[in-house]
Amino acid sequence: MGVTLSPKQAVACQRNGLDVHLLDWKSIDSTTFGPFDGIVSVGAFEHFCSVEEYLAGTQERVYESFFKRCRLLLPAGGRLYLQTMTWGRNAPAYDDISLSARKGSNEYILAVMQRAYPGSWLPAGEEQIERCAAPYFRLVSRKNGRRDYIETMNRWDRVWKWSPRKIVPALKMLPCFLTDHDFRYKLESLRNGYNRVCFIREVMDHQRLIFEAIEPS
């Protein structure tokens, strides 16, 4: 059973026989579906805190509330697998991220990515995540997936190589390109592989964490 905020993803999953619901995790409690044996979250946690929440100092409250909710749905000893991007050791400070920064710098690349993919602020790192989970979960396994993610993106590049078959879809995107200023940032980010650059430069990192639900104290 899965939840997503994307109507198109929900429909595609349902069409393929999956039990997927269009729901925010914030609206799920133990009465929504009942308890679960385990929970898996892949590539969603990094979207849970908005830039506004980060600036208001409530990032950890968002994460604590997620762990609390997951704990309510699991038995003691039940496991939560969490895969998420985090900021890396070379991430610039929020105030330094700017489109006026030197082109190609970490500060400039992140400013472009914020325009292309607005709305999220990443977790600071695995220590922050572990701290927020601590009242409900104990960390039992941790793996850094940064290099795997770079390899994944290299392979996506090979699959998505330019071919004449892509002319029609590309032409369909032309109106967006001409009218939506942020769409240009998306293209710039994709064309230059900014996401991959961030992983290579350790501006972003990637964690795979397994937690085990503890007895309530």
Residues that bind ligand SAM (CB under 6 A): 3-6, 9, 24-26, 42-44, 47-48
What is the number of the residue whose Cβ is closest to ligand SAM?
44
DSSP string, the chain: -EEES-HHHHHHHHHTT--EEE--GGG--TTTS---SEEEEES-GGGSS-HHHHHTT-HHHHHHHHHHHHHHHS-TT-EEEEEEEEE-TTPPPGGG--TTSPTTSHHHHHHHHHHHSTT----S-HHHHHHHHTTTEEEEEEEE-HHHHHHHHHHHHHHT---GGGHHHHHHHHHHHHH-HHHHHHHHHHHTTHHHHHHHTTSEEEEEEEEEEPPP-
* Cβ nearer to ligand SAM, comparing 137 with 149: 149
Q: How far is the CB of 151 from ligand SAM (least distance, A)?
A: 17
* Cβ nearer to ligand SAM, comparing 43 with 135: 43
* Cβ nearer to ligand SAM, comparing 107 with 206: 206
Q: How far is the CB of 45 from ligand SAM (least distance, A)?
A: 8
* Cβ nearer to ligand SAM, comparing 30 with 178: 30
Q: How far is the CB of 28 from ligand SAM (least distance, A)?
A: 8
Q: How far is the CB of 100 from ligand SAM (least distance, A)?
A: 28
